[in-house]
Chains A and B, each alone.
Chain A
């Protein structure tokens, strides 16, 4: 069935380090892909999205590219800040399934000053 696999956390980095959080998915057809972020004690916020192959989503310095050939949507940021500490979720959704979101387990990111 459809699924999303993320790298396990926690991921601990120093401020200004380069970030990659891997995400791969299985799905029928070509779903929309999302990264959501959950800051401590808060709800989920959409970070970025991509709706078709080779699309690049970007926001707040984060980027992810929809790679159909590798069924991946890895999240990257060139220089992380302490304020980026949060849990990051990769997810996909398809109109054929009424846009039900299929979620990864989440990756906790800890940035040390």
Chain B
């Protein structure tokens, strides 16, 4: 099925551990985004990539790094997880022409 695939769906980390959230899209979209969703708040942009080989910070980039490995894949890395990074993470890709987005199903991350 065409769309955005995120892995894993769930993850529990201990404080200080590292991990990488994977995201891949098969729609040949140029722009991809990582958001986090916290209770009672809208999604907040962590990083985005307007095209292969470029990445830019969003609203809340601290504690994260990203890699746009190729046009399909955009990964998010937590180098040293903190409890404040407990959240649901969504990856999205932008439709050609900017008229909409497709979201992945999310990764629920808990840092203890």
A interface with B by C-beta (< 8 Å): 4, 32, 34, 36, 42-46, 49, 51, 89, 91, 93, 95, 98-106
Q: How large is the interface on B (under 10, 10 to 19, 20 to 34, 35 or more residues)?
A: 20 to 34
A46 to B43, CA, bound (A): 14
Question: CB-CB < 8 A to B56: which residues of A?
Answer: 98
Question: CB-CB < 8 A to A102: which residues of B?
Answer: 42
Q: What would 17 more interface pairs be, CB under 8 Å, given A46-B100, A89-B42, A106-B41?
A: A32-B98, A44-B43, A46-B101, A46-B102, A49-B99, A51-B99, A98-B48, A100-B48, A101-B33, A101-B45, A101-B101, A103-B43, A104-B42, A105-B40, A105-B41, A106-B40, A106-B42
Question: CB-CB < 8 A to B90: which residues of A?
Answer: 43-44
Interchain Cβ contacts under 8 Å between A and B, 14 examples = A4-B42, A43-B103, A43-B104, A44-B90, A44-B103, A49-B99, A49-B100, A98-B50, A99-B31, A101-B43, A102-B42, A103-B42, A106-B41, A106-B42
Question: How far apart are A24's CB and chain B's nearest CB, in angstroms?
Answer: 14
Q: B110 interface residue, CB < 8 Å from A? A: no
Tell me if A34 and B100 are in contact (CB < 8 A): yes
A44 to B45, CA, bound (A): 15
Question: How far apart are B103's CB and chain A's nearest CB, in angstroms?
Answer: 4
A31 to B44, CA, bound (A): 18
